[in-house]
Amino acid sequence: MSRRAAIEEALLPPLVALLLAAVVGDALILSFGQSPGAVYKLLLEGTWGNAYGFGQVLYKATTLVFTGLAVGLGLRAGLFNIGAESQLAAGGFCAALVGLLLPAGIPALLCLPLYLLAAALGGGVVGAIPGVLKARFGAHEVIVTIMLNFIVLALLNYLTSARVHVPDTLHTPEIKSGALPRLGDMFAPFHGSAANVTILLAVVAAVALGWYLFRTRSGFELRAVGLQARAAEYAGVNVASVTWRALALSGAIAGIGGLNYVLGYKHYYEEGFATGAGFLGIAVALVGRNHPVGIVIAALLFATLSQGGLAVNAIVPKQMVDVLQAVVILAVAVSVPEVRRLLSGARRRSDA
Amino acid sequence: MRKLLILVAVLTAVHGALLFVHPSGAAVPPTGDAVDVGIVFDLGGRGDKSFNDGAYIGAERAEKELGVRVRFVEPGESADREAGLRLLAAEGMDLVIGVGFIFTDDLTQLAREYPNTRFAGVDYSVAQDKDGKVIQPPPNLAALKFREEQGSFLVGAIAALVGKSKKVGFVGGMNFPLIHKFEMGYAAGVKSVCPDCEVISQYAGVTPEAFRNPGKGKELALSQYQQGVNVIFHASGSTGLGVFEAARQTGKLAIGVDADQFKEAPGYVLTSMVKRVDNAVFDAIKRVKERHFAGGIYQYGLAEDGVGYVYDANNAKMIPAAVRTRVEALKADIVAGRINVPSTK
C-alpha cells in the first residue's frame, strides 16, 4: 500500500464518522430549540478553551485511557472484557487500602511501586477469574465479566460502607502518604482541575502496551489467538494460557486506572468514584480501533464530550451529550468498514 | 474515491450550514442585574420524585417570585460534582447550591477557595471534632439540615393511632445516622400515643444500594405485616416502592417519605413525612436576594415548615378527625419545645 493510501485509510473513516456525529448532534441541538453553533462553541470553550477545562479533560481521559487499553488488549486476544468497570473499582480500592496501612511521610516515589502493585493486583485478580474460567471450563468471558461486575461492586460497596468508611460519608479515610501532585500544583493555570501526574502513567501504559502487542513474542501470540485461535494453536501457541493471561493483564491495566482518583485526585476510595468509566472504555477501545494511539485519541474525544456536557448543561440537557457519545460510537462502527470498502473499491478501479 | 469526497463535502456543508441556524427560542446570554443562582444536582438528577426535584421546585419558585436567574448542572460521574460547583463559582454566581450530603467535602473546600461566593448544601453533614464538638462550616456556607425526627414523630403518632395494632413497622434504607433520625423520631411518636406499642424496625442494608432495592423492601414489609403490623413507615428511597407493593398486596397501610407519595399506591398510602427541600432552597435564595445571607447551620423543623406530614383531600378520609386533632396538638407541643424528639440511637 502506498504511503498516501495508508494515510487515507487511517484518517478518512474517523473523519467521516465525526462529521456524521456532528450532523446528528446539530439535529439534536436544533430539536431542543437551541443554536448548534452556540452549543458547540460553549462546549469547546468549557473544555479546550481554558486551562481548567482542559485539565478536567485530561483527568477524565486518563481514566479512560486505562479502561480503553484494558478493553483493547482483551479484544486483540479476541476476548470481550466487559468487566473494566469493576476492575477499575477494585484497583482503586486496593490502592486506598494500602494507603491506609502505610505510615505517613513516605515520599511519593517510594510508595508508587506499592500502589501500582496493589491496584494491578486488585484489578488483575478480578480479570483473572473470568480468564481462568474461560481457559479451564470454556465459560464465556462476556457473561462472566458482566456478572462479576455486580458481585465485585457489591462486595466493595459492603467493605467500604461496613468496614472502612468515614462516618456519614461513602468514602474511606485519606491515604497517609504517596499522594501524587496535581498539574495545578506545578502549572498555576490548571489550578482546581483534577488533572494529576497519573496522566504520565497513562502515557507509559499506552507505549508499553504498544510495545508488548507489536514487538514481543508474547504479544504476537496474543494477537494470533485473537485473529484465529485454532490456527494459533496449530502453530504451537498455548491458547488457554494466553487467554487467562490476557484477561488478567487487561484487568490489571484497568485496576491501575483507579490510581487516577485515589492517588491523584481525592486521595481516598469513594463508592462509585468512576461510575461508567469502565463501560465507556469499551467505546474508547472500539473507536480507537484497539490501537494504543487510537485509544489515547478516543479517550481525549470522549473526555471532551463528558466535560463539555457540563459546560453546555445550561442550555441543553445532559442526556444530549450522552446521546452524542452513543452517536459517535455508532458512526464509527458503521462508517469504518463502509469507508474502507469504498476506498478499496476505488483503488482497485484505479489499478485496472 | 469520488463518492467518498462527495460524502465528506456534503456532510461538511450540512454541518457548516446548521452551525449558523439560530432558532427563535435559542438561549441568549443573560443581561442585566439579577441574582444568579447555580444548583448542582446529585447523581440521581432531576426526576427522582424526591430530593433533586424538591430543590428544582424551590428554585423554580424563586425564579418566579423573586426574579432570580437559576442555572442547573447535572453531574455524570463523581468527579463532576466538584467540577459543576467550580464551574458555577467561577462564573460568578451569587449562590451555589449542592443537593445531597455527598457534596459536603467539595462544598467545604470550594467555600474556602471562593470566599466571596455564597454556598449552600442540602443535607450537608456537619462534622464533629475529637471532643464531639460541632465543626462549623466556613462563614460563606449554609448547611441546610432537616429535623427529620420531628416529622417522623408525627407520622409515628398517626401510625399508632390509625393502625389500631400493638405493633407498628419501620423500614429503613441504609443503616446509618441520617436514617436513624427517622427511626428514632418515629418510634418516639409511636410511644407518645401508645406507650405499650412495639416498633418493629428493619433496614434494607448497610450500603447505598439499600436505597434502591424494592425487592428487599417488599420482603421486609410482608414479614412485618404478617407479624400483625398494620402501618409501615419507610425511609428508604426507591426500596419503599416495594413497601407500597406489599401494602397493596395485603390491603394494609404504608407511610411515604420525602415527598407526597400518595400516587405510588393510592388508597394504601396513609400519609407521607415530607421534607421540604423546596422551602429550604427557596429560603436560601431569598436570603441572598434580600442581602442577609449568612453561613452556618440551618435546621429546618416543624416550626420552619421544613418537615411535616401530608393531610389533604387524598388522605383526609383515612385519618379520623380525632387523630388529626391529637397530632396537631403534638405538633404544637414540639414547636413550643414542650416535647423534645430524640434523633440519635
Do residue B194 and residue B318 come from a single domain? yes
Instruction: Report CB contact under 8 Å: A33, B23.
Output: yes
Whether pLDDT at B44 is above 70: no
* Interface contact A167, partner B, CB < 8 A: yes
Chain A residues touching B90 at Cβ < 8 A = 52
How many domains are contained in chain B?
A: 2
Whether pLDDT at A321 is above 90: no
**Whole-number pLDDT of residue B329:** 95
Cβ-proximal residues to A69 (8 Å cutoff; 6+ apart), any chain: A205, A206, A209, A253, A285, A292, A295
> Where is pLDDT greater, at A112 or B174?
A112
CATH number for the domain harbouring residue B242 = 3.40.50.2300
Instruction: Report CB contact under 8 Å: B83, A307.
Output: yes
Average pLDDT, integer, range B308-319: 92
- Does residue A193 fall inside a structural domain? yes
Do residue B108 and residue B205 come from a single domain? no
- Chain A residues 238-267 with CB within 8 Å of chain B: 261, 265
Do residue B135 and residue B284 come from a single domain? yes
The band of A77, judged by pLDDT with boundaries at 50, 70 and 90, is: very high
Average pLDDT, integer, range B130-151: 89
- Does residue B195 fall inside a structural domain? yes
* Interface contact A192, partner B, CB < 8 A: yes
Average pLDDT, integer, range B147-157: 95
Do residue B240 and residue B195 come from a single domain? yes
Chosen for mutation from B43, B69, B87 (greatest number of chain A CBs closer than 10 Å) is: B87
Instruction: Report CB contact under 8 Å: A37, B76.
Output: no
- Does residue A259 fall inside a structural domain? yes
Percent of chain A with pLDDT over 90: 56
- Chain A residues 302-321 with CB within 8 Å of chain B: 306-307, 309-311, 313-315, 317-318
Q: Chain B closest CA to A185's CA: distance in Å?
A: 15
**Whole-number pLDDT of residue A351:** 67
The band of A300, judged by pLDDT with boundaries at 50, 70 and 90, is: very high
- Chain A residues 45-74 with CB within 8 Å of chain B: 46, 52, 56, 59-60
Burial call A48-74: b when 16+ CB within 10 Å, e when fewer: eeebbbbbbbbbbbbbbbbbbbbbbbb
- Predicted model pTM: 0.85
Residue with cell 494504543: A292
Instruction: Report CB contact under 8 Å: B19, A37.
Output: yes
H/E run at residue B308: strand B307-309
* Interface contact A337, partner B, CB < 8 A: no
> Other C-beta atoms within 10 Å of A265: how many?
26
* Nearest residue to A131 (alpha-carbon basis) of A234, A242, A252: A242
Whether pLDDT at B281 is above 80: yes
The band of A222, judged by pLDDT with boundaries at 50, 70 and 90, is: very high
Q: For residue B338, what is its C-alpha cell?
A: 414542650
Max CA separation in chain A (angstroms): 74
pLDDT tens digits for A276-290? 899 999 999 998 989
Instruction: Report CB contact under 8 Å: B207, A158.
Output: yes
Nearest to B27 among A20, A276, A315 (CB): A315
**Whole-number pLDDT of residue B27:** 65
**Whole-number pLDDT of residue B28:** 62
Nearest to B4 among A12, A20, A277 (CB): A12
Do residue B136 and residue B206 come from a single domain? no
SS (H, E, C) B229-270: CCEEEEECHHHHHHHHHHHHHHCCEEEEEECCCHHHCCCCEE
Question: Residue A190 gets which letter from DSSP?
Answer: G
Whether pLDDT at A161 is above 90: no
Instruction: Report CB contact under 8 Å: B84, A167.
Output: no
**Whole-number pLDDT of residue A275:** 84
Chain B residues touching A161 at Cβ < 8 A = 174, 176, 206-208
d(CA A258, CA A260): 5
pLDDT tens digits for B197-242? 999 999 998 777 788 889 999 999 999 999 999 999 999 988 999 9
Lay out the sheet containing B231-235: strands in order across: B198-205, B167-174, B231-235, B253-258, B269-275, B307-309
The band of A271, judged by pLDDT with boundaries at 50, 70 and 90, is: confident
**Whole-number pLDDT of residue B31:** 62
DSSP E strand stretches across B95-247: 95-99, 118-122, 141-146, 167-174, 198-205, 231-235
Q: At what angle do helices A292-311 and A198-215 cross, to 10 degrees?
A: 150
Do residue B206 and residue B89 come from a single domain? no
Average pLDDT, integer, range A24-53: 88
d(CA A119, CA A175): 14
* Interface contact A189, partner B, CB < 8 A: no
Percent of chain B with pLDDT over 90: 61
- Does residue A343 fall inside a structural domain? no
- Does residue A326 fall inside a structural domain? no
Burial call B256-278: b when 16+ CB within 10 Å, e when fewer: bbbbbbbebbeebbbbbbbbbbb
Nearest to B20 among A16, A37, A162 (CB): A37
H/E run at residue A154: helix A141-159
Q: At what angle do helices A217-227 and A198-215 cross, to 10 degrees?
A: 80
- Does residue A20 fall inside a structural domain? no
CA dihedral B305, B257, B211, B111 (to 10 degrees): -10
Do residue B242 and residue B152 come from a single domain? yes
Q: Chain B closest CA to A107's CA: distance in Å?
A: 25
- Does residue B210 fall inside a structural domain? yes
**Whole-number pLDDT of residue B115:** 92
Nearest to B209 among A60, A157, A275 (CB): A157
d(CA B209, CA B51): 17
Give the range of the structural domain holding residue B117, as residue numbers without chain letter: 36-146+280-300
Give φ, ψ of B168 to 5 degrees.
Answer: -125, 150
Do residue B40 and residue B171 come from a single domain? no
How many domains are contained in chain A?
A: 1
Give the range of the structural domain holding residue A217, as residue numbers without chain letter: 62-303
Distance of alpha carbon A41 from the chain centroid: 26
**Whole-number pLDDT of residue B121:** 94
Residue type, B125: S
CB B234 within 8 A of CB B205: no
d(CA A167, CA A270): 13
Q: For residue B40, what is its C-alpha cell?
A: 448542582
